[in-house]
Amino acid sequence: MIVDVHGHVSAPSELYAWKAGLLAHRGSHGVRPPRISDDQLREAYTAPNASFGDVSHFHHLDTAGVDVQLISPRPYQMMHSEGPARIVEAFTEEVNNVIHRDTELFPGRFRGVAGLPQTMDLTVEQWVPELRRTVTELGFVGALLNPDPYEGTRVPPALGDRFWYPLYEALVELDVPAIVHAAGCRAPAREPYSLHFIQEETVAIWSLLSSDVLKDFPDLKLIITHGGGAIPYQAGRFLPSGVRSGATPYLDRLRTLRFDTCLYTRDAIELLLKTVGVDRCLFGTEKPGTGSQIDPATGRWFDDIHLLVDEIEWLTDDQRESLLHGNAESIFAL
C-alpha cells in the first residue's frame, strides 16, 4: 500500500484558458467558470501528456504502485498575487470543485487537498470559508498553505506571526493538516518558482520554530513539502544557538513538524529520515510534475521515489510501512 501525500490536479486546458481570460479582463466580464465534462476530466488523467514525459498521470501512479494520491491545485497556477480578489476567489473555488469531481470520478484513488484564496487583498479570516466548505461539504482532508501570497513581489508576514492565527485556529478546529507549499514567483525575480518553493519552506521552518505557534496550537499539523527546504540538511547551523540560549534542542523542535519525501535522490531522502525520524515523514512524490523526466544515468523517472526508498536498506519493515502509508493514514485520518 502506498499513499502519496504530494500530488497535484491534472485538469483540462479549458480550466487554464478560463484563468487566462480572468487575468485578461480582471473579472469585468464576470467570473462564471467554464463547462467541463466528466469525460474531459477523465481524459486529463488517462491521456498521454507531453509535460509528464509523454505518458498519463495514471501511468505514473500505476507504475509507481501509488494506491491513493492526495491532490491539490498546481501551486504555480494559483495566482495569489493577482487582483482583484474576486478572480482569485473564483479560480480557487473552481479548482477545488474540479478536484472534488476528480475524487468522485475515481473513488478511492484521490483525496482532495484544498487551495485557499490567499490574496492579500482579503483578510486571513476571509480565506477560511473556502477551507470550511472544502472540508465540511466536499470531504477534503487538508489544505495547501502558501507562506508567500505576494509570490515574491513583497515580503509577507512570516508563518510565526500572529497574522496567520485565524487560519491556524480553523485548521485545528477542523482537525485537518496544512501542507506548506509556496505558489508562484512573479517576474522579475532572482529565482524560478521551484527554487522559490525551497526558499519559502526554509524560511517557514525557521519562523515557526522561532515563534510560539506550536505552543499556542499544540494540535496544529503542518507538513513541510520537498523535504523541508534546506533546513534538515543544514540543521547543524542551528544546533549551537539552541545550546547558547538554553532552549529545547533544535532537533527536538524540528520534530514538531512533519515532512514529505519529495526529494529526487536517495541520499537526500536518507538524510531527511535520519535527521527528523521516519515517524515524522510522509511519502510524497509530486508525481507527475517537476521530476517526471527519465534519468539518463538510470533509465528511471527522477520522481520514482518508491524505488529510492526501496534502496534504503536500514529501514525496518514497520518503518517502511509507516513511511509508505501508515503515517499519512494517521495524520490525514484516511
Which residues are the active-site residues? Answer: 286
Which grid cell sits at 176?
Answer: 485537518
The span from the CA of 260 to the CA of 218, in Å, is 20
Residue 55 per-residue DSSP state: B
Quick one: DSSP state of residue 47?
S
The DSSP annotation for 151-203 comes to TTSSPPPPTTSGGGHHHHHHHHHHT--EEE-----PSS-SS-HHHHHHHHHHH
Residue 312 DSSP one-character state: -
Sign of the alpha-carbon dihedral angle for 122, 124, 260, 265: positive
Q: State the Cα angle at 202 between 201 and 206, rounded to 5°.
A: 115
Assess contact for 176 and 140: CB atoms under 8 A: yes
Q: Are strands 178-180 and 110-114 parallel, antiparallel or unpaired?
A: unpaired
